């Protein structure tokens, strides 16, 4: 079923979107329930994602990537989330955060090495959060010491998406704590680096197959050439990548809402009460109409923010609005979907309870809803 009536996509974008939709329906959907139950990504999933060319969507072809746009990356994230938000966020972090950082701030040598690996075989992770630095991102305490020919990192990171699957980590540490946020520096950490290990995996409410892990740095040695961007300018990389990543999370929430709506729409056509399908009741029809309208509004906001980003225009406020609204829509639509399923909506035998659980994270990660409101208000008042 097409759901792009009010948006403008090129033929190439539509073709890519259709291919991802088919892949999600045929290859991911049969695995969703088991992956969610086991809180584990299917072992063959990563190979398929790389084969589909969606782990390096914006990566230039010279580095083995697809050479496409940020908008296409968001389309992919949306279509995957329509079926499974866990697979969606793995692809989202790879593309809208880690790859974007390398594209914008990586040296040519770093691009050749890491973009090529991430487009073809290696998963990336973005490591900013710590126990004391969530919304206050720059309160991070991971320390980096300059040892002449290398840096040595000590501390922990928490809530790191793709922690189990990743081999390449974009890690933010402070090289001069006395300078506050101006000491923050971004480092490329490889899984095999001495002194680095992946700790516990969180047992989560939603997006359960997506690994969210602790990272441990115990005298972790990082070569000097693994600084990305300038020393002391990591805060700039963090801010700007998160601004872009929020559009990706908006796309993920949009996909969750779309999946929940489609499930509810189909169910109301087949579920009979009092001798007729429940979709013939005006009260149900009005709920479906509200769901569909809010989804389309969220879609336009997400796509607009992505287009602005691709066109090199200011998009920070629009990104915050898109993430804020799409996460609200995902929660509301998935909740209504559970209501429309009645008692069945509360059962894991049916898909909508998972959409409902997965939707909750949208208002939390990559900037809480309150932080998005703060960004929007500041930009309106400036």
Q: Which of the residues are catalytic?
A: 366
Tell whether the torsion through CA atoms of 265, 268, 269 and 271 is positive or negative: positive
What's the angle, vertex CA 248, arms to CA 245 and CA 250, rounded to 5?
Answer: 115
Shortest CA distance to 52 belongs to which of 76, 35, 74, 31?
76
Instruction: Write out the two tokens for 143.
Output: 């320390």
**From the CB of residue 141, how many other CB atoms can be counted at a distance below 10 Å?**
14
Spell out the alpha helix ranges (H) of the chain.
Answer: 11-23, 32-38, 45-51, 70-81, 85-92, 100-105, 108-110, 116-120, 234-270, 282-310, 316-341, 352-359, 369-381
Q: Write the CB contacts of 21 (distance below 8 Å, at least 6 apart in sequence).
A: 79, 82
Q: Terminus-to-terminus CA distance in the chain, angstroms?
A: 43
User: Quick one: CA torsion of 55, 371, 301, 59, rounded to 10 degrees?
Assistant: -20
Shortest CA distance to 187 belongs to which of 141, 120, 233, 131?
233
Tell whether the torsion through CA atoms of 26, 28, 31 and 37 is positive or negative: negative
DSSP string, 19-65: HHHHHIIIIIGGGHHHHHHHT---TTHHHHHHHTT-SSSSS-GGGTS
Q: What is the CA radius of gyration of the chain?
A: 21
Q: CB-based burial of residue 16 (10 Å sphere; 0-12 exposed, 13-18 middle, 19+ buried)?
A: buried
H or E segment at 367? none
Q: Write the CB contacts of 53 (distance below 8 Å, at least 6 apart in sequence).
A: 65, 66
């Amino acid at each position: 079923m097409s759901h792009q009536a009010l948006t403008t996509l090129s033929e190439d974008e539509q073709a890519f979107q259709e291919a991802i939709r088919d892949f999600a329906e045929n290859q991911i959907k049969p695995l969703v329930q088991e992956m969610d139950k086991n809180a584990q990504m299917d072992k063959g999933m990563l190979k398929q994602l790389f084969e589909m060319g969606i782990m390096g969507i914006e990566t230039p072809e010279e580095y083995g990537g697809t050479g496409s746009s940020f908008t296409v990356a968001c389309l992919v994230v949306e279509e995957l989330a329509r079926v499974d938000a866990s697979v969606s966020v793995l692809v989202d972090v790879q593309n809208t955060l880690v790859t974007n950082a390398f594209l914008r701030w990586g040296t040519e040598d770093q691009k050749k090495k890491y973009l090529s690996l991430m487009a073809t075989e290696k998963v990336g992770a973005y490591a900013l959060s710590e126990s004391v630095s969530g919304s206050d991102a720059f309160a991070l305490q991971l320390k980096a010491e300059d040892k002449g020919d290398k840096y040595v990192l000590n501390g922990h990171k928490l809530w790191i998406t793709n922690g189990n699957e990743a081999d390449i980590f974009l890690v933010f540490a402070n090289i001069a704590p006395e300078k506050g946020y101006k000491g923050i520096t971004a480092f490329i950490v490889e899984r095999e680096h001495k002194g680095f290990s992946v700790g516990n995996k969180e047992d989560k409410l939603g997006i359960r197959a997506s690994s969210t892990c602790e990272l441990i740095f115990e005298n972790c040695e990082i070569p000097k050439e693994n600084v990305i961007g300038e020393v002391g300018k990591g805060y700039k990389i963090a801010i700007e990548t998160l601004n872009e990543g929020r559009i990706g999370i908006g796309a993920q929430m949009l996909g969750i809402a779309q999946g929940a709506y489609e499930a509810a729409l189909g169910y109301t056509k087949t579920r009979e009460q009092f001798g007729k399908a429940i979709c013939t009741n005006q009260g149900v029809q009005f709920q479906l109409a509200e769901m569909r309208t809010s989804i389309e509004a969220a879609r336009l906001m997400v796509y607009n923010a992505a287009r602005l980003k691709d066109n090199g225009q200011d998009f920070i406020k629009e990104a915050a609005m898109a993430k804020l609204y799409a996460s609200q829509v995902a929660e509301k639509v998935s909740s209504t979907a559970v209501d429309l399923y009645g008692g069945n909506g509360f059962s894991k035998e049916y898909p909508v309870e998972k959409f409902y659980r997965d939707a909750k994270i949208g208002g939390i990660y990559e900037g809480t809803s309150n932080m998005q409101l703060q960004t929007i208000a500041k930009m309106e008042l400036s």
